[in-house]
Amino acid sequence: MEIYRTSDGKVTKYVHDDGSETSIKHAVAEDCGGKYGAVKNKFNVFISSSVGCPIGCKFCYLTVKKFPYSNLSRDEIVNNVYDAIIDQVNTFPELKEKYVKLSWMGMGDPCIDFAKTIDATDCIIRRLMEEKVCVGVDGIDIGTTMPDRAKSGIILNHLDLFMAFMMDFPRNPLRTAKSPFRIFYSLHGTETVRNDLIPAKMMGIADVFQLFHTIPEDRAKIIIHHMLLDGINDSDYDIKELIKLMKYINRTHHHQLRILRYNSCTNSPFVESSNFRTLIKQIHNKIPDVKVQASPGSEVEASCGMFLLGDSIGEK
């Protein structure tokens, strides 16, 4: 296992022998020019559900660098995450007194096999608690493109299973949300634009939003992830459609829109919109609860699921 840390030690990326990656980020007061989370008694573990990814998003490191894909078993995922966390708490023993957040936002899409994701999550937390590597659970984040196979309603049906085993673990008292679960849906454009950016077979946007309408707020919080790419989804029409979609999904429950800063990589055909700031103001005028997110960890190229090593890297 290869280990890469930022100079301040707050972000570490683990490259496992099978090629998958785990990233661990400490909660910090300030990062990337803004607040990074209000809850400070936790640490975040970003998990890969596979080696590489079969989805093939055109803007992703994995696609640009033609990273090979292979599946990971539940036990392989659990052992990878455990090895990374053990190194982390041995290096930073104070983390043993904090709560763990598990974020399925590394390589792969956890909704390709959601049952395995649930099983692995349960196994990871039980193992950490048994060995007293943390004091409890802060939450579970699921990052997904919503592949077509999720259409069966598996997410809604399995959230109850998540809730059932979570009852066995102490919850972070500083976490006031109704549910410990958050689902981050990668939107990035209208149906036509999205189908080009994400060529794998996906649920239609309308079907996804209809599914989200059926998920009670005490089961999961829904957050919409969106990037603004130059000449791809940053026209007046694209922004009007984004605002229209957000108003549609918010008609029954409140869902947050998060604009991600695009992390470019060598040979990527995409760059962030040259009108980024103007577009954010335009969106904010219609959708007040919009958050612009720049993830920490760029030193070791460990942010927003794009974990693949680049041409240069931080401290090893």
Predicted confidence (pLDDT) per residue in 44-71, tens digit: 999 999 999 999 999 888 888 888 999 9
For 154-163, 212-221, 223-232, which range has the lowest pLDDT when averaged over its residues? 154-163
Average pLDDT, the chain: 85
* Apex 102 CA angle, 97 and 104, nearest 5: 165
Within 10 angstroms of residue 270's Cβ, the number of other Cβ atoms is: 18
**What confidence score (pLDDT) does residue 305 get?**
45
Whether this model's pTM surpasses 0.85: yes
Q: What is the pLDDT of residues 96-151, one digit of tens each?
A: 999 999 999 999 999 999 889 999 999 999 999 999 999 999 999 999 999 987 66
**What confidence score (pLDDT) does residue 314 get?**
43
**What confidence score (pLDDT) does residue 316 get?**
43
Mean pLDDT of 223-230: 94
* Apex 276 CA angle, 273 and 278, nearest 5: 135
Q: What is the pLDDT of residues 4-60, one digit of tens each?
A: 887 878 888 899 999 999 999 888 654 444 444 567 899 999 999 999 999 999 988
Name the pLDDT band for 219 (thresholds 50, 70, 90): confident
Within 10 angstroms of residue 272's Cβ, the number of other Cβ atoms is: 16
- Give the separation between CA 90 and CA 88, rounded to whole angstroms: 5
pLDDT higher at 9 or 302? 9
pLDDT higher at 35 or 225? 225
Residue 66 makes CB contacts below 8 A (sequence gap 6+) with: none
**What confidence score (pLDDT) does residue 164 get?**
82
**What confidence score (pLDDT) does residue 38 get?**
65
Please name the helix (run of DSSP H) or strand (run of DSSP E) that holds residue 207, with its range, or none: helix 205-213
Beta strands in 145-289 (DSSP E): 181-186, 221-227, 256-260
Residue pair 99/135 in contact (Cβ under 8 Å)? The answer is: yes
pLDDT higher at 139 or 155? 139
